[in-house]
Amino acid sequence: MPGTLSEEEAASLLFMREEEKLAHDVYVTLYDQWGLRVFRNIAASEQKHTGAVARLLDAYGLEDPTIGNGVGEFTNPALQALYDDLVAQGSISAAEALKVGAAIEELDIADLEQRIAETDNADIQLVYSNLLAGSANHLRAFSSTSRR
């Protein structure tokens, strides 16, 4: 059984659930627009990331902020605005779409590093560390694709 959460840890989990969904949703949307395989592949990975955070929400009895939200729909207004901005930028060209992918992963990395430092719950640190490794891989994939 997991330990107790501080208010900051609970807020962090809720935010990360939606931030991982944002990455997934942007990638699905940009794949539909540009057909670049990197978006399809990484969207599938992001779906696993959102699931990992959802399992933590469930374990700690937190209400999932993504329930009932479709692709591109967010409970957090800042993430909603970010999604809208990123899709608009990524819709300009395939090159811009790849830049959006890299920017999302850079944001994820910064947020995860901060949140890992702010928790002492081992289960949260483990999930966030795994997500961090995934985001580093995704950033490399977007960077290498954009150089081709």
Place of tokens 């990975």: 45
Residue type, 3: G
Which DSSP category does 23 fall into? Answer: H
> Over its length of 148 residues, how does the chain's per-residue pLDDT go in tens digits?
467 899 999 999 999 999 999 999 999 999 999 999 999 999 999 999 999 999 999 999 999 999 999 999 999 999 999 999 999 999 999 999 999 999 999 999 999 999 999 999 999 999 999 999 999 999 999 999 876 6
Cα–Cα distance, 6 to 17 (Å, whole number): 17
